[in-house]
Amino acid sequence: MQSLPSPNQLSSSSSSSYTQMADETYKFGPYTIYQKESFYSTDLSYAFVNLRPVLPGHVLVCPRREVKRFIDLTTEEATDLWISAHKIGKQLENYHNASSLTFTIQDGPHAGQSVPHVHIHILPRKDGDFVNNDEIYDAIDAKEKELKKKLDLDKERKDRSMEERAQEAAEYRKFSF
């Protein structure tokens, strides 16, 4: 695991690249995210495909530094996180022939956050993907609760395989960020 910079060492010149990610792994709360399931990186943020997507193209964007709450991010980290989400969202919407995007953060355990690491969910949206538009939040919450059960009880999961996630990430690495 590569050591992450302290907030004082963070640079505002965050450039995205995949090549710098070649041998990296990232921490996502108690999980390790491997290079082959990630597809975007800056000096301050990274993105990876979802283990349990709610919709096709459902990805996560995180700060490199393990931070539990959004309010604990530095201004540079918060800015980079949203700029990254903007770039990724634009590419995902086009790739998945979507007409809209849902960006969401569950900030803290009482907001439904099950992995104690800030992350933005990005979901490409299409007409009719949910009967009631706000059901997307229930679906995200249900997936987070499933993950929490895994953390708490180590129940059997219905995860996508590493090969499936790696294949999806490889497709997204082709994007022009």
Q: So which residues are the catalytic ones?
A: 119
Structure-token pair, residue 48: 């990876």
The answer to whether 93 touches 100, Cβ cutoff 8 Å, is: yes
Tokens of 152: 């708490």
The Cα-based distances of 123 to 23, 49, 105, 113 in angstroms read 27, 11, 12, 17
| Distance (Å) of CA 97 to CA 25, 61, 115, 155, 160 | 30, 20, 30, 35, 22
| Cα Dmax for the chain | 46
d(CA 132, CA 121): 19
Q: Are 101 and 125 in contact (CB under 8 A)?
A: yes
112: which 2 tokens? Answer: 């439904």
